Amino acid sequence: MSTQFFVQPIPEISVEELDELLQNVPSIQLQLIDVREPQEVAMAKLEGFINYPLSEYSQWSEQILVQLDLEQETLVLCHHGVRSAQMCQWLVKQGFTKVKNITGGIDAYSVLVNSQIPRY
């Protein structure tokens, strides 16, 4: 089998686990990335997340490697968990060692954790 088709499994974190972390772990110990578009973030967001829209990859792809710590816990969010999974794969390929995809994304967070976060 060709290795170019192999996709490394990415660890996942539930929105409930995320909420617990956000309440109990100092924010300096977590790198929080939101890969949604700016207009999506304007509709619904979680505090502390840095927005790196996938569509703007060429604008931030080199910067992210100096702005973030490759060995710090890195959690990635999108709307439902698909784009964030793509970002997680890219981060791992860049050498990030503690990457987790937030399953269900901000939509699941709104449904299961905080209904004050608007759904769209």
What is the mean predicted confidence (pLDDT) over 18-31?
Answer: 89
Break the chain into its structural domains and give their ranges: 10-112
**Is 88 an active-site residue?**
no
10-112 has which CATH code?
3.40.250.10
Give the global pTM: 0.91
Pairing mode, strands 73-77 and 50-51: unpaired
- Kindly report, residue by residue over 68-98, the tens digit of the pLDDT: 999 999 999 999 999 999 999 999 999 999 9
Q: Is the pLDDT of residue 42 over 80?
A: yes
Q: 77, 78, 99, 108: which one is catalytic?
A: 78
